[in-house]
Chains A and B, each alone.
Chain A
Amino acid sequence: MKSIGARLALWYAGAATLTMVGLFVAGYYLLENQLIRGLDQLNKAQFAQIRAHLGEDFATLSPRLIDSRIRETSDFSSVLFFITIDDPRGPVRPVFYSTNLRGAPIPDVPGRRVFNAFMTGIGELRVGEFILDPFDVTIATPLNNVREAMRNYSEICIWMLFVMIAISGAIGFGLSRLALRPVRLIRETANHISSDNLSERIPVAAVRDEISELAQLLNQMFDRLESAFDQIRRFTAEASHELKTPISLIRLQAEKLLMHGKLEAGDEESVHMQLEEISRLSQIIEELLFLSRAEARDIELQLAAHTPESLLQSFGQDARVLSEHRGLRYVQTHQGLGTVLVEPRWVRRVLLNLLANALNASPPGGTVTLNSVVDAGVWRVSLADDGPGVAAELRERIFERFFRLTPAADSAENGSGLGLAICRSIIALHGGRIWADTSPGSTGLCVVFTIPAAA
């Protein structure tokens, strides 16, 4: 959205500037034209004056007489006009040069009456040729004033262009913000509609336009999403009920077989195994339900402030016992002060889960290390083993459902394959993160989670 706003502002500024440039260029040519035509008029007026000074009998005058009649006038206006009078058929050529020409002729462009010419020492000239039979009168006036005026005009135009770019940019930005305001509103609403408040809708303006149609469209989408979420939630609840009833019955029947005690030893073993598989099955169902509820944010945590020490103290007791039982060493450290907002039973579940994995991975005589640190507003716990570790490319995958490092069929473990997925859900519910790494100073796996500390 930001980029559309910027693009709109840019387009607007570009269009405005381009129009301005067009206008300036057109103005430039029109103005220049107008000024040059003014010079032509001046030349014409000067010609009229010269003709007046020459008098009615000009055709018969000798060059000397001509000189005496117009020299004064021409000298008087020498700043503005350069004048030659030529008699193409006469014996003396030219008849008259104005003093300011210093003897050099004004260049001629054959076949043209008005033109621009350049003379070294004088500069650019606007030249007009007039016929005063038998004389050709050439009057020129400097163009430098026009050039100066045009330079000033260009300078002003360039400054105005910069101002225009700035102003149109600002206006464009303001306009785009104004135009995109409803879109921003939609974005904000859509952004905080999550599974917790799926019933919220984007306010639709009374005016029917493209934006309100978009809002309506999105609202319809949210309607469908809400009903889909509801269905999933209902499905979760119903599935739990529907699956648990038959499993309950299978279990009850199996137990009944054992109770009656009429089974042979082999059969009894089979029934026991059935019962064990049933408890595994119900554990998997329970965990899958937990995961889908966690995903739908349908789990309310009873968060309370606890110190990590208190959480770890009770866990550490059990962890040490479990490790000892497996012939492994367990080391636990904690640093830093602070409290965290957690529900202890869930944190304990995560810790037990990670510990069980670490114990399973550790070689005989190995060490499992838990380091806990509260620092910079974060509680960070890492649990490291010195087992074979997990390849870097698999470290993210171990958090997937039913992902196993060894094929399930080869594994003697009876875990559901959901443990780490559940850990990730629980940590996410606490607003934290969990990931896997290598153990520092060993090849083993180190699982780290962070939970924001209470302010």
Chain B
Amino acid sequence: MGRGEPTKILVVEDQYRIGTFLKQALLERSYAVTWARSCGEASDALCESGHDAIILDLGLPDGDGLKLLQQWRKCGFNEPVLILSARDAVQDRIKGLDIGADDYLSKPFSMEELMARMRSLLRRQSAVKEAVLEHRGIKLDLVGRTVHLAGEPVDLTSREFALLEIFMQNVGRILSRKLICEKCWSSHYDHEANLLDVYMSRLRAKFEAIPGPPVFKTVRGVGYQLL
């Protein structure tokens, strides 16, 4: 990664149309893509050359993606893996993450969300956690758990703090609703109560004073973005 070479992504997906679309979309975003359509092809591709990340479907014609992943992890392949599956049961998700997947996204998915998660996966490898995050006058101290806006302390509840932390660590990135809910409430479920929207409106109200364009931008159908 870096050093002028494009980031290499291995896509393991047996559905022709989804595979084509993924490959196309990733190429458009200047990733190098290898597309494998079965467990066998995927293992071959992985052994042939190193990849920076893997997008793995679970229902493959010659086996189960979870088994394949287990096998890889046993053999010492520790590339970040994002499972992209039509299976959405919570236990599948937990099983996947237990086996060694780094993230789990269920179909139907949004390309934006997939990209956001991919970037987060790739960054995770080299990320250095900072103790104090600053952006547009917001100063968030992770150790002291305090927030200041233009030097003035801002009173946040623990949930609001957690939410702000997610944004501060992903400045400029579009964060999907699902991703935020997962991180903030360790829940995969936000449909009914619109909890996130309510918290976002509270957070917005507290940082209204910041001059210039609105701090938290709503990205329709996807999620939010800290500008």
Contacts and interface: CB of A to CB of B under 8 A. Distances in A.
B111 A318 contact: no
B192 A325 contact: no
A251 B17 CA distance: 13
Interface in B159-209: 159, 185-189, 191-195, 198-199, 201-202
A5 interface: no
Given A256-B111, A325-B201, A349-B189, A248 B221 contact: no
Contact of B193 (A245, A251, A272, A356): A356
Interface in A347-396: 348-349, 352-353, 355-356
Contact of B192 (A252, A286, A353): A353
A334 B59 CA distance: 45
A247 interface: yes
Given A272-B220, A325-B198, A352-B193, A255 B110 contact: yes
Contacts of A241: 59, 86-87
A94 B94 CA distance: 122
Contacts of B108: 244, 247-248, 250-251, 278, 282
A250 B18 CA distance: 10
Nearest to A319: B193
Interface in B5-48: 15, 17-18, 21, 25
B90 interface: yes
A415 B192 contact: yes
Contacts of A318: 159, 185, 193, 195
Given A255-B110, A352-B193, A345 B88 contact: no
Contacts of A251: 108-110
A293 interface: yes
B143 interface: no
B189 A240 contact: no
Interface string A233-257: 0000100110011011111100110
Interface in A305-364: 317-318, 321-322, 325, 345, 348-349, 352-353, 355-356
Interface in A407-455: 415-416, 419
B73 interface: no
Nearest to A354: B192
Nearest to B158: A317
Task: Report which residue of B87, B89, B107, B192 has the largest number of chain A beta carbons within 10 angstroms of its beta carbon.
Answer: B192
Contacts of B106: 244
A88 to B, nearest CB: 116
Task: Report which residue of B185, B187, B189, B191 has the largest number of chain A beta carbons within 10 angstroms of its beta carbon.
Answer: B191
Contacts of A356: 192-193
Given A318-B195, A356-B193, A244 B110 contact: no
Interface in B80-111: 86-91, 94, 106-111
Nearest to B59: A241
A299 B89 contact: yes
B26 to A, nearest CB: 12
Nearest to B199: A321
B112 interface: yes
B215 to A, nearest CB: 19
A322 B86 contact: no
A351 to B, nearest CB: 10
B126 interface: no
A148 interface: no
A321 B18 contact: no
Nearest to A346: B90
A252 B111 contact: yes
Contacts of B90: 345
Interface of A is mostly: helix
A272 B91 CA distance: 31
B18 A248 contact: yes
Contacts of A256: 25, 111
A415 B193 CA distance: 10
Given A241-B59, A248-B107, A318-B159, A286 B18 contact: no
A255 B107 contact: no
Contacts of A275: 220-221
B193 A240 contact: no
A310 B223 CA distance: 29
A289 interface: yes
A317 B111 contact: no
A265 to B, nearest CB: 13
B157 interface: yes
B187 A348 contact: yes
A270 interface: no
A283 interface: yes
Contacts of A353: 192-193
B202 A321 contact: yes
Nearest to B94: A302
Contacts of B109: 248, 251
A33 interface: no
B208 to A, nearest CB: 16
A52 B159 CA distance: 132
Contacts of A278: 108
Interface string A207-241: 00000000000000000000000000000010011
Contact of A276 (B107, B159, B202, B221): B221
A107 to B, nearest CB: 103
A325 B188 CA distance: 22
B87 A237 contact: yes
Interface in A262-280: 272, 275-276, 278-279
Q: Which 6 residue pairs of A and B lie closest in terms of their CB atoms, listed nearest first?
A: A248-B108, A244-B86, A275-B221, A247-B108, A244-B107, A241-B86
Interface of B: 15, 17-18, 21, 25, 59, 86-91, 94, 106-112, 157, 159, 185-189, 191-195, 198-199, 201-202, 220-221
Given A345-B187, A353-B192, 11 more contacts: A241-B86, A244-B86, A248-B107, A249-B17, A255-B111, A278-B108, A317-B159, A325-B198, A345-B90, A349-B187, A352-B193
Interface of A: 237, 240-241, 244-245, 247-252, 255-256, 259, 272, 275-276, 278-279, 282-283, 286, 289-290, 293, 299-300, 302, 317-318, 321-322, 325, 345, 348-349, 352-353, 355-356, 415-416, 419
7 contacts: A245-B17, A245-B86, A248-B18, A249-B17, A251-B108, A256-B111, A276-B221
